[in-house]
């Protein structure tokens, strides 16, 4: 059956039409069905290279998680306080809450700048070039916190380091969603959360070990260690394949084929297989163009993209509202409650390991359970822990209550990292339209960071003995925001598990309610106006089967 015979029209209930040849439609259909039929074991045997490259690029987030862990732990570190602290009325050194908030928010502001740069640069130059450029900037920016002499220079260092971190935050998630097939997509987007956890755990270990070091290198060395990442990652990523979706949108199908070939095991793709895979990507691209033809930030707020942008923005913002910010201040939280510096850092180390343990455990569920159900259950589980933390906060001088707070923070972080933490990255990676994925992820992360600016102003004041001195009672504040977040997810968060990007396009175009996403049947290759010899469904099915078997 020749492509020259006719151009068929794919039409969906939303009214969108896509012009494609009959052969390409069948090839795209065959490729979609093949992807959906693969389980995790099969897809790893074939696409282990895609998993490798996704994991390598995501390792950039280890640096951000590491620095976040370092700076939040240092607020209670003796040698750090000698350099940056001021004495209170009793002579005890502390960093004022306004400077704690300012330094933490400096990184967030820098990340917002980096997000904007990535949203502008990646669609034009591709993920690989932007990643390499950001890595060079990262290596240079580390000099500032290493040689900081006062809190103002530390503030500037966090701000400038935040710019490449902002690039990595969204670029890595979008890249993972671009290069991984359906059965692998959830695991590799969730791997981003694991990288955060690795960074935080390394930071906790480094800061715990630095307690015994006297002098300025007890805190400077922690920043020096960040140079262990940029050079090797830069060299390895020089050889990474570019996103085939980016190449399709740039009108470079042959380059996209080469990229697809590099993401699978050697010899897996025949030319016919590559044509089928390419046809599916072109088909999805055309479906999305039929809804919103552009690929700019403004297009994220048009038609069905508006709903997608709202959901991914809220899902990412919920990471702050669900109670997770308390975990970032574990050391100062417990130290202010009356626990010794050593025990505070010991518990903090256990808390941060939950990022790794929880994320690995989450992989058991990601391939089998609805993203929606995981997210809602996670918020609910965290709400219980927050309620108990809030109650214990009314017993500030009770030694048992203080240790109870430490145990509950460990449980809170485990629940977060088996549910909300990694699943958020999966949802954010899968849910946007492929044409504006980079821009949608940038907007969502920008919302997350703006929420973070507010929360980072509040939490130090909640915990500081010189300010509000809420202690564990701040758990009740986050319990309230958590319950609101859970209600939002119930009514607005759809399930994306096992769906092709074309199917998601149709579900959003048709305005399917979030609670019905998983149960709604979708045929993204529904045909109208086809040739007479295709009126017989069996003839069409036979053609598709011939393509698949070849």
Phi, psi of 228 (to 5 degrees): -70, -15
pLDDT of residue 529: 36
Q: Which residue has the higher pLDDT, 260 or 183?
A: 260
Find residue 8's DSSP bridge partners.
20
Distance CA 456, CA 104 (A): 7
Kindly report, residue by residue over 143-166, the tens digit of the pLDDT: 998 888 888 898 999 899 999 988
463 touches 329 (CB < 8 A): yes
Total-model pTM? 0.74
pLDDT of residue 4: 32
**Which contiguous run of DSSP H or E holds residue 19?**
strand 17-21
Distance CA 300, CA 85 (A): 44
- Domain definitions of the chain by residue range: 37-504
Mean pLDDT over residues 525-545, rounded?
46
The percentage of residues in the chain with a pLDDT greater than 70, rounded to a whole number, is 86
Q: Is residue 314 very low, low, confident or very high in pLDDT (cuts 50, 70, 90)?
A: very high
Q: Which residue has the higher pLDDT, 256 or 525?
A: 256
Distance CA 451, CA 155 (A): 19
pLDDT of residue 497: 87
Residue 147: Cβ within 10 Å count: 12
pLDDT of residue 533: 40
E-strand ranges in 416-493 read none
pLDDT of residue 400: 79
pLDDT of residue 1: 32
Q: Which residue has the higher pLDDT, 340 or 253?
A: 253
Looking at residue 11, what DSSP letter applies? E
> Is the confidence at residue 444, as pLDDT, over 50?
yes
* Three-class secondary structure of residue 67 per DSSP: helix
pLDDT of residue 333: 73
Q: Which residue has the higher pLDDT, 268 or 547?
A: 268
Kindly report, residue by residue over 100-127, the tens digit of the pLDDT: 778 878 888 898 899 889 888 998 899 9
Q: For the domain with range 37-504, which CATH number is right: 3.20.10.10, 1.20.1250.20, 1.10.3210.10, 1.10.10.10?
A: 1.20.1250.20
pLDDT of residue 72: 64
Q: Is residue 130 very low, low, confident or very high in pLDDT (cuts 50, 70, 90)?
A: very high
Kindly report, residue by residue over 28-78, the tens digit of the pLDDT: 666 666 666 677 888 888 899 999 999 999 999 888 788 777 776 676 677
Mean pLDDT over residues 210-232, rounded?
82
pLDDT of residue 323: 87
pLDDT of residue 18: 45
Kindly report, residue by residue over 315-328, the tens digit of the pLDDT: 999 999 998 888 87
pLDDT of residue 15: 44
> Is the confidence at residue 530, as pLDDT, over 90?
no
Mean pLDDT over residues 212-231, rounded?
82
Nearest alpha-carbon partner for 256 in 269, 106, 365:
269
Mean pLDDT over residues 517-522, rounded?
84
Mean pLDDT over residues 263-272, rounded?
85
pLDDT of residue 105: 80
Nearest alpha-carbon partner for 202 in 381, 61, 58:
61
> Is the confidence at residue 439, as pLDDT, over 80?
yes
Average pLDDT over the chain, rounded to an integer: 81
* Three-class secondary structure of residue 149 per DSSP: coil
Q: Which residue has the higher pLDDT, 78 or 534?
A: 78
Phi, psi of 8 (to 5 degrees): -90, 165
Q: Is residue 414 very low, low, confident or very high in pLDDT (cuts 50, 70, 90)?
A: very high
Q: Is residue 17 very low, low, confident or very high in pLDDT (cuts 50, 70, 90)?
A: very low
Distance CA 432, CA 496 (A): 10
Phi, psi of 20 (to 5 degrees): -145, 155
Q: Which residue has the higher pLDDT, 55 or 206?
A: 55
Q: Is residue 548 very low, low, confident or very high in pLDDT (cuts 50, 70, 90)?
A: very low
Separation in Å, CA 253 to CA 259, 260, 271: 10, 10, 13
> Is the confidence at residue 386, as pLDDT, over 90?
yes
pLDDT of residue 202: 86
């Amino acid at each position: 059956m020749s492509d020259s015979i006719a151009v068929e029209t794919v039409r969906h209930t939303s009214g969108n039409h896509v012009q494609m040849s009959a052969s390409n439609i069948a090839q795209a259909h065959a490729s979609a069905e093949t992807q959906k039929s693969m389980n995790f074991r099969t897809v790893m045997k074939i696409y282990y290279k895609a998993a490798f490259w996704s994991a390598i690029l995501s390792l950039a987030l280890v640096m951000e998680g590491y620095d976040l862990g370092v700076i939040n732990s240092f607020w209670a570190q003796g040698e750090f306080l000698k350099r940056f602290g001021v004495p209170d009325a009793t002579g005890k050194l502390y960093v004022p809450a306004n400077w704690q908030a300012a330094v933490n928010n400096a990184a967030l502001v820098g990340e917002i700048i980096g997000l904007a740069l990535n949203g502008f640069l990646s669609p034009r130059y591709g993920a690989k070039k932007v990643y390499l450029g950001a890595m060079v900037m990262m290596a240079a920016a580390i000099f500032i916190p290493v040689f900081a002499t006062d809190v103002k220079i530390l503030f500037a260092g966090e701000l400038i380091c935040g710019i490449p971190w902002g690039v990595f935050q969204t670029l890595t998630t979008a890249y993972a969603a671009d290069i991984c097939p359906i059965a692998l997509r959830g695991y590799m987007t969730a791997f981003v959360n694991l990288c955060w956890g690795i960074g935080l755990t390394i930071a906790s270990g480094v800061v715990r070990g630095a307690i015994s070091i006297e002098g300025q290198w007890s805190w400077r060395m922690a920043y020096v260690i960040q140079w262990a990442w940029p050079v090797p990652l830069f060299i390895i990523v020089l050889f990474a394949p570019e996103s085939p979706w980016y190449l399709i949108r740039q009108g470079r199908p042959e380059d996209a084929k080469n990229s697809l070939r590099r993401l699978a095991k050697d010899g897996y793709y025949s030319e016919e297989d590559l044509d089928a895979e390419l046809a599916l990507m072109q088909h999805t691209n055309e479906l999305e163009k039929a809804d919103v033809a552009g690929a700019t930030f403004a297009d994220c707020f048009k038609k069905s993209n508006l709903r997608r942008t709202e959901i991914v923005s809220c899902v990412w913002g919920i990471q702050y509202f669900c109670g997770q910010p308390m975990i970032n201040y574990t050391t100062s939280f417990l130290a202010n409650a009356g626990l010794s510096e050593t025990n505070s850092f010991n518990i903090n180390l256990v808390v941060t390991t939950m990022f790794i343990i929880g994320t690995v455990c989450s992989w058991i569920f990601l391939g089998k359970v609805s993203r929606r159900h995981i997210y809602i259950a996670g918020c609910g589980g965290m709400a219980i822990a927050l309620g108990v933390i809030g109650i214990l906060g009314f017993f500030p001088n009770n030694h048992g209550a203080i240790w109870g707070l430490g145990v509950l923070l460990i449980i809170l972080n485990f629940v977060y990292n088996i549910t909300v933490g990694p699943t958020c990255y999966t949802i954010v990676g899968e849910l946007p339209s492929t044409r504006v994925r980079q821009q949608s992820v940038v907007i969502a992360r920008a919302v997350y960071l703006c929420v973070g600016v507010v929360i980072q102003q509040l939490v130090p004041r909640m915990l500081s003995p010189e300010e509000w001195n809420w202690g564990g009672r701040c758990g009740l504040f986050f319990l309230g925001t958590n319950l609101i977040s859970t209600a939002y997810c119930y009514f607005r968060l759809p399930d994306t598990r096992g769906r092709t990007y074309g199917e998601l396009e149709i579900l959003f175009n048709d305005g399917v309610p979030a609670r019905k996403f998983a149960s709604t049947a979708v045929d993204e290759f529904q045909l109208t106006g086809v040739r007479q010899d295709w009126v017989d469904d069996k003839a069409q099915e036979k053609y598709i089967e011939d393509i698949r078997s070849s």
